[in-house]
Amino acid sequence: MVAPAVRCMYVDLDGTLLGPGGSLMRDGDGRFVLDGVRALQACDRAGVEVVIYSGRRQHTVFEDSRMLGLPSYIFEVGCGLVIDGELEWLTDGIVPSQEKGTIFEQIDASGAPALLLEHNAGRLEYHTPWSRQRDVSHLFRGLVDLDSVHALLEQEGLGWLRLLDNGVVHEHMAPLTSGQAEAAIERRSGLRRDLVTVRAYHLIPAVASKARAVARHMQARGYAPADCIAVGDSREDLGASEAVGTFWLVSNALERDPSLSAALGPRVRAASGAYGAGVYEAVVTTLAEGR
Each residue's pLDDT tens digit, 24-68: 999 989 999 999 999 999 999 999 999 999 999 999 999 999 999
Distance CA 153, CA 113 (A): 10
By the 8 A CB rule, do 171 and 184 touch? Answer: yes
pLDDT reading at 226 higher than 50 = yes
Distance CA 19, CA 274 (A): 9
Distance CA 192, CA 188 (A): 8
In the chain, CATH 3.40.50.1000 sits at: 8-90+209-289
67, 72, 96: which is closest to 82 by C-alpha? 72
By the 8 A CB rule, do 210 and 53 touch? Answer: yes
User: How do residues 262-285 score in pLDDT, each as one tens digit?
Assistant: 999 999 999 999 999 999 999 999
Distance CA 282, CA 6 (A): 11
The overall average pLDDT reported for the chain is 92
Amino acid at 6: V
Give the mean model confidence (pLDDT) for residues 76-99. 97
Higher pLDDT, 139 or 188: 139
Distance CA 233, CA 291 (A): 27
Burial category of 117 from C-beta neighbours within 10 Å (exposed 0-12, middle 13-18, buried 19 and up): middle
pLDDT reading at 160 higher than 80 = yes
Burial category of 211 from C-beta neighbours within 10 Å (exposed 0-12, middle 13-18, buried 19 and up): buried
| Phi, psi torsion values for 286, nearest 5 degrees | -65, -45
At the fourth CATH level, the homologous superfamily of domain 8-90+209-289 is HAD superfamily/HAD-like (3.40.50.1000)
> What was the pLDDT predicted at 186?
47
Lowest mean pLDDT among 122-126, 190-194, 201-205: 190-194
Distances (CA, A) of 111 to 102, 161, 202, 226, 240: 15, 11, 15, 42, 30
Distance CA 154, CA 14 (A): 31
